[in-house]
Amino acid sequence: MRGLYPIVDVDALKTRGIALLDFAEQVLSARPAMLQLRAKHEGSRETLALLSALVPRCRARGTLLFANDRPDLALLAGCDGVHVGQDDVPLALVRKLAPTLKVGVSTHDLAQVDAALAERPDYVAFGPIFATGSKQNPDPVVGVEGLELAAARARAAAVPLVAIGGITLERAAQVARAGALAAVIAALMPEADDLADVSVRATAFQRVLCAP
């Protein structure tokens, strides 16, 4: 699996005054394989409403929708999956409580990659590959060399790998060469408030990341 994995971040969009569903529509025009809603500071009711609104939009484009951190809300909204971090609900417990959900797992070093792969998630996210401003306390940068090592492990286990952290359009080719998807937040944000620019950016990422 290759291509763009957009993360629709509520906080980032609120800071810019951009309507989340309008932004998501533009991103989905590129038909990414997966899309994640990150709503770190929203209440359960608000997050559920956003996920419920995104489900039909994603299905219309053939895109899998993942909720960040919340398997309960993912189930209630009818999402395809949930993304969990190292300090969130363990993958084994998610599968016990919500066996229909696909599960992606965040990892930040090769030991965590190996531990995650042993549990056979639906994908492993690895990073930050480059320095990122999307998290207040990011883990240490792993670099392209770290990405290539993680990608080799993921290929051997036949589990998709998602690269995350500081990925720009100029850096996307390096992710593509490793055979990973690219999770992107900031680089999809439009210049000024031109939402049409979001579609252009998402399509450009898809073109680079899916190039033969």
CATH code where residue 165 lies: 3.20.20.70
The answer on pLDDT for 209 being more than 80 is: yes
Neighbours of 29 (CB within 10 A): 16
Instruction: Count the domains in the chain.
Output: 1
The answer on pLDDT for 102 being more than 70 is: yes
CA dihedral for 105, 27, 137, 2, sign (positive or negative): positive
The answer on pLDDT for 134 being more than 70 is: no
For residues 132 and 114, the answer to whether their CB atoms sit within 8 Å is no
For residues 142 and 178, the answer to whether their CB atoms sit within 8 Å is no
Rounded CA-CA distance 205/211 in Å is: 10
Cα–Cα–Cα angle for 163, 167, 171, rounded to 5 degrees: 105
> Residues for the chain: how many in total?
212
Q: According to the model, what pLDDT value does residue 132 have?
A: 79
Segment 54-65 mean pLDDT:
98
Rounded CA-CA distance 83/87 in Å is: 12
Give the H/E segment covering residue 172: helix 172-177
Cα–Cα–Cα angle for 21, 61, 50, rounded to 5 degrees: 30
Residue type, 95: R
The answer on pLDDT for 137 being more than 80 is: no
State which residues form the domain around 30: 3-179+188-209
Whose CA is closest to 115, among 123, 107, 103, 127? Answer: 107
Residue type, 72: D
Chain centroid, CA 17 distance in Å = 22
Segment 173-201 mean pLDDT:
95
Rounded CA-CA distance 115/113 in Å is: 5
Rounded CA-CA distance 200/205 in Å is: 9
The answer on pLDDT for 21 being more than 70 is: yes
For the entire predicted model, the pTM comes to 0.96
pLDDT tier for residue 187 given thresholds of 50, 70 and 90: very high
Whose CA is closest to 22, among 193, 203, 192? Answer: 193
pLDDT tier for residue 136 given thresholds of 50, 70 and 90: low
